Amino acid sequence: MRDLKFRAWDKRNNRFVYFQLFEGINSHTPEIYSKGKYLNDDFKEWQQFTGLKDKNGKEIYEGGIVRFFNEPETTREVSWSNAIGFTLGTGSIGLYAGELEVIGNIYENPELLTN
């Protein structure tokens, strides 16, 4: 079973807070305790870990911006599709994980999205 890991964008401090859901707590809970902090309305943008790592071993999350190893000019945002799971807009991310490199995210590096 893969870890249910998430990150949330902290709008007050302009940074990510990383956390895991604990047994008995789910995404419908308004506040989740993580490392001494409550994740509440300041953390509205939750992004789930895909369960995959890029070619360098870096974890791939929703909202991440990745570059294709063999096509460095092609970048995509990692997103969720109810139909196929985590996607790059062109298909399931699982098909490409070993060929990807995480280069940023949609909050800190939106300019990296080229297409």
Which CATH architecture describes the domain 5-112?
Roll (2.30)
- Residue 50: other Cβ atoms inside 10 A: 21
> What is the arithmetic mean of pLDDT over 100-115?
88
Q: What is the pLDDT of residue 64?
A: 93
Q: What is the pLDDT of residue 1?
A: 46
Per-residue pLDDT tens for 56-101?
999 999 999 998 877 778 888 998 877 677 788 767 777 777 788 9
- Residue 32: other Cβ atoms inside 10 A: 20
Q: What is the pLDDT of residue 87?
A: 80
Per-residue pLDDT tens for 7-38?
888 888 888 888 776 544 454 443 444 444 55
Domain boundaries, the chain: 5-112
Cα angle value 32/35/36 (rounded, 5°): 80
Per-position DSSP letters for 42-93, written without gaps between them: T---EEEEEEEE-TTSPEEETTEEEEETTEEEEEEE-EEETTTEEE-SSSBG
